[in-house]
């Protein structure tokens, strides 16, 4: 036994505290301490772990964001298939299902457990017991085709409502002490607020928005960069507990309670009932709640509660007979297109927007819907006068799903009909400034190329002032319009020459608001390189890319002087971003703008981040199964720290990392006297770079 040192005790205590507060914050939504106090504890733990790298374990709260997942995800066969569910769409179908369940159950009792059906993707979480009785998250696997999924552990670890460790104490409280392990299945969702934030950010970076929170969650979980996953703020709600590949014997209601005891997030909107009438009442209550929930749901899952009854009912090919998904009607409505308008964005991109006859969908009146681009209009076949199916997902702006037929009894709007057969055409000139529009070969989007187009300038200034960018509070749309119309502002740089007299001369601008705006503008000079880089509105350069570039180059000058190769040497910067950055700085007007901003005193430097080099010059060979890291993770982490991973052992190999069932490579290492380390040894080598 190792002696318990002071460092160990302090680390253990801090970890336990942080786990407790994570649970309060991310699972119970009831924090007990402030964010600042939490951060301070986290920093203290990091410092201690840096001083004692040998004590670092992957279940530490500091280890949520590890290395990249490298080239892909390992395939994993599920302990038991992850099945899908049959659906019911109305009360009659629910009643029919209930009758069938009772028929098949015979003399066995029938109670139901009903839960919200969250609209995300299902995930299997595997926990393994440690010698001290705690259980550690070892694998997170996507559903895949139901039989075989993908190992996305590195990404799952970033989801704060997924415990990295379940303590022996909690396992004891749940009556699960002494088990070798267990599995939890649940739904990963992207909360609507995160989804909107992500799409705003994508829009700003010139990327296509994700269609809905489910796609966004699925895409995020398969991202190869855990840092990005961590920023996206996914959430996970547990709905099954499996022991030895079997559903926990206590039944569904009790299992959900056990999952709560273990520290998992379980959706609180659930019920246990004996009759189909009670079920139907619950369905109604949930549907009424739907518009106000922070995540998307598409129905309710009803499960037979008792395991004995479940076993009696059994399975059809693809789904259990003992469960059903009651699906809500889509949040959609049919209405008529009155006009198709074209708006001009910050990058000059022209976007068609359908102006609709107002229609109520899921509690709000919808009057406009996005059509994205000319190809989308053509694909849908939308014309002025078309009847269309409008869907409201997590997006603020609804979208048109398809052309629909005129609902019976509806009247047409007379003004739309004459044009109804004219297909939509993107205008050849900008609808705001009249400049000829550019549509690059092979690209779907059309652009107004006039960098002085007032529509672009309005959008550029609003973007520049945005909270996540230069954060100039008080510079809203009305004021921006006034500044442009009065001729005071013709470019971003003009903001920094505004005076109080000029501002108060504008309509509805008082002395006080003028002063506070000027103070905000003044403050923004210090926003720093990354923010300013974002603010310039370079295509594909959103928050993360701007931070990476700023960290890698340290100054605006260095970025402006870098060629595409040098830009691509930055992690995560690909050819598209590099070309866009080059194009921006090659343009004389942009060069002049940057120079003017420099003269006006805007901060254009950042602290340069060193690339990790702890393992530079070292070559590793991996063999056998490591206790917590997958092959890909181990490789990625070595490479992130500057080391190399080779496939075979030679004299040049610095270390062989051996896990369980290591084979011939281990023998070869001994033969050649190459040092052999285990996972803990590797983590210790990696620790300084964390």
Catalytic sites, residue numbers: 117
**For ligand IVH, how many residues bind (rule: CB under 6 A)?**
14
Residue from 15, 117, 136, 233 that binds ligand IVH (CB under 6 A)?
Answer: 117
Between 110 and 323, CB nearer to ligand IVH: 323
Q: Locate 624 and state its tokens.
A: 């056998």
Contact present, 45 and 60 (Cβ < 8 Å): yes
C-beta closer to ligand IVH: residue 84 or 599: 84
Is the Cβ of residue 86 or residue 678 nearer to ligand IVH in the bound state? 86
Residue 255 CB, nearest approach to ligand IVH (Å): 11
Residues 6+ apart with CB under 8 A from 316: 86
Distance CA 363, CA 42 (A): 43
Distance CA 26, CA 20 (A): 10
CA-CA distances (angstroms) from residue 520 to 523, 537, 603? 5, 20, 15
- Please select the residue that binds ligand IVH; options are 57, 62, 69, 122, rule is CB under 6 A: 122
Residue 356 and residue 340 in contact, taking contact as beta carbons nearer than 8 Å? no
**Site residues (CB under 6 A) for ligand IVH, limited to 294-313:** 301
- How far is residue 549's CA from residue 578's CA, in Å, rounded to a whole number? 10
In sequence order, the 6+-apart residues with CB closer than 8 A to the CB of 528 are: 550, 603, 605, 606
- CB half-sphere exposure, 44, CA atoms < 13 A: 15
Collect all residues with Cβ–Cβ distance below 8 Å to 43 and sequence separation of at least 6. none
* Residue 119 or 679 having the CB closest to ligand IVH: 119
Residue from the set 27, 55, 76, 85 that interacts with ligand IVH by CB under 6 A: 85
Q: Least CB distance from residue 253 to ligand IVH, whole Å?
A: 12
**What residue number has its CB nearest to ligand IVH?**
122
178 to 197, contacts with ligand IVH by CB under 6 A? 187
Q: Give every CB contact of residue 583 below 8 A, 6+ residues apart in sequence.
A: none
From candidates 66, 191, 320, 385, binder to ligand IVH by CB under 6 A? 320
Nearest approach, Cβ of 265 to ligand IVH (angstroms)?
12
DSSP conformational letter for 34: -
Max distance between CA atoms of the chain, in angstroms, equals 88
Q: Is residue 568 at the binding interface for ligand IVH, with CB under 6 A as the rule? A: no
CB 488 within 8 A of CB 498: yes
CB of 174 to ligand IVH, least distance (A): 20
Least Å distance, CB 96 to ligand IVH, is 18
Q: Which residue has the tokens 């398809």?
A: 402
Q: Does 316 bind ligand IVH (CB under 6 A)?
A: no
Which residue, 305 or 679, has its beta carbon nearer to ligand IVH? Answer: 305
Stretch that binds ligand IVH, among 117-125, 398-406, 465-473, 529-537 (CB under 6 A): 117-125
Give the one residue of 168, 325, 389, 433 binding ligand IVH; rule: CB under 6 A: 325
Q: How far apart are CA 66 and CA 690, in angstroms?
A: 8
Choice between 70 and 105, CB closer to ligand IVH: 105
Q: How far is the CB of 327 from ligand IVH (least distance, A)?
A: 9
Does residue 237 contact residue 265 with C-beta atoms inside 8 Å?
A: yes
Confirm or reject binding of residue 242 to ligand IVH (CB under 6 A).
no
Binding residues for ligand IVH, rule: CB under 6 A, are: 83-85, 115, 117-118, 121-122, 187, 239, 301, 320, 323, 325
């Amino acid at each position: 036994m190792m002696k318990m040192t002071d460092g160990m005790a302090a680390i253990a205590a801090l970890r336990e505290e942080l786990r407790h507060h994570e649970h309060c914050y991310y699972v119970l939504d009831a924090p007990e301490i402030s964010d600042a106090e939490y951060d301070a504890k986290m920093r203290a733990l990091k410092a201690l772990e840096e001083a004692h790298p040998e004590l670092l374990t992957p279940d530490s709260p500091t280890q949520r964001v590890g290395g990249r997942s490298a080239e892909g995800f390992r395939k994993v066969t599920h302990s038991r298939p992850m099945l899908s569910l049959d659906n019911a769409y109305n009360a009659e179908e629910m009643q029919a299902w209930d009758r069938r369940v009772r028929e098949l159950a015979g003399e066995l009792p029938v109670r139901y457990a009903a839960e919200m059906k969250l609209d995300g993707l299902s995930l299997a979480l595997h926990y393994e017991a440690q010698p001290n009785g705690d259980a550690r998250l070892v694998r997170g696997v996507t559903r895949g085709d139901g039989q075989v999924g993908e190992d996305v552990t590195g990404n799952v670890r970033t989801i704060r409502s997924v415990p990295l460790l379940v303590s022996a104490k909690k396992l004891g409280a749940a009556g699960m002490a002494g088990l070798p392990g267990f599995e939890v299945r649940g739904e990963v969702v992207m909360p609507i607020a995160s989804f909107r934030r992500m799409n705003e950010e994508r829009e700003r970076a010139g990327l296509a928005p994700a269609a809905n929170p489910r796609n966004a969650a699925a895409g995020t979980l398969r991202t190869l960069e855990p840092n990005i996953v961590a920023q996206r703020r996914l959430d996970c709600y547990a709905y099954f507990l499996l022991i030895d590949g079997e559903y926990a014997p206590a039944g569904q209601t009790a299992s959900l309670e056990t999952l709560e005891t273990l520290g998992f997030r379980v959706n609180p909107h659930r019920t246990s009932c004996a009759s189909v009438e009670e079920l139907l009442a619950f369905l109604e209550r949930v549907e009424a709640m739907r518009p106000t929930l922070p995540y998307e749901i598409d129905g309710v899952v009803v499960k037979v509660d008792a395991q004995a009854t479940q076993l009696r009912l059994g399975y059809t090919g693809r789904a259990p007979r003992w469960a059903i998904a009651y699906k809500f009607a889509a949040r959609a409505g049919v209405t008529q297109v009155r006009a198709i308008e074209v708006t001009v964005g910050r990058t000059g991109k022209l976007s068609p927007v359908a102006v609709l006859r107002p229609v109520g969908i899921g509690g709000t009146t919808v009057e406009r819907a996005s059509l994205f681009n000319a190809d989308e209009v053509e694909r849908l076949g939308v014309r002025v006068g078309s009847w269309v199916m409008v869907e409201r997902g997590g997006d603020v702006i609804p979208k048109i799903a398809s052309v629909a037929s005129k609902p019976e009894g509806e009247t047409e709007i007379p003004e739309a009909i004459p044009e109804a057969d004219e297909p939509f055409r993107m205008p050849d000139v900008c609808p705001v400034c009249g400049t000829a529009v550019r549509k690059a070969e092979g690209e779907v989007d059309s652009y107004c190329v006039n960098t002085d187009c007032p529509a672009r300038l309005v959008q550029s200034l609003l973007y520049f002032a945005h909270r996540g960018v230069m954060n100039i509070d008080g510079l809203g749309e009305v004021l921006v319009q006034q500044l442009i119309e009065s001729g005071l502002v013709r470019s971003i740089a003009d903001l920094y020459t505004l005076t109080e007299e000029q501002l108060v001369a504008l309509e509805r601008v008082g002395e006080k608001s003028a002063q506070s705006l000027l103070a905000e503008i003044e403050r923004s000079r210090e926003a720093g390189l990354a923010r300013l880089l974002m603010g310039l509105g370079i295509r594909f350069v959103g928050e993360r890319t701007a931070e990476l570039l700023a960290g890698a180059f340290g100054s605006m000058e260095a970025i402006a002087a870098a060629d595409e190769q040098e830009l691509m040497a930055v992690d995560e910067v690909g050819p598209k971003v590099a070309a866009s950055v080059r194009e921006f700085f090659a343009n004389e007007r942009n060069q002049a703008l940057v120079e003017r901003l420099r003269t006006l005193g805007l901060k254009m430097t950042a602290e340069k981040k060193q690339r990790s080099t702890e393992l530079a010059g070292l070559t590793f060979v991996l063999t056998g199964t490591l206790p917590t890291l997958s092959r890909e993770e181990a490789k990625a982490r070595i490479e992130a720290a500057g080391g190399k991973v080779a496939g075979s052992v030679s004299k040049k190999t610095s270390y062989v990392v051996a896990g369980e069932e290591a084979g011939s490579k281990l023998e070869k290492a001994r033969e050649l006297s190459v040092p052999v380390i285990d996972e803990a040894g590797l983590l210790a080598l990696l620790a300084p770079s964390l």
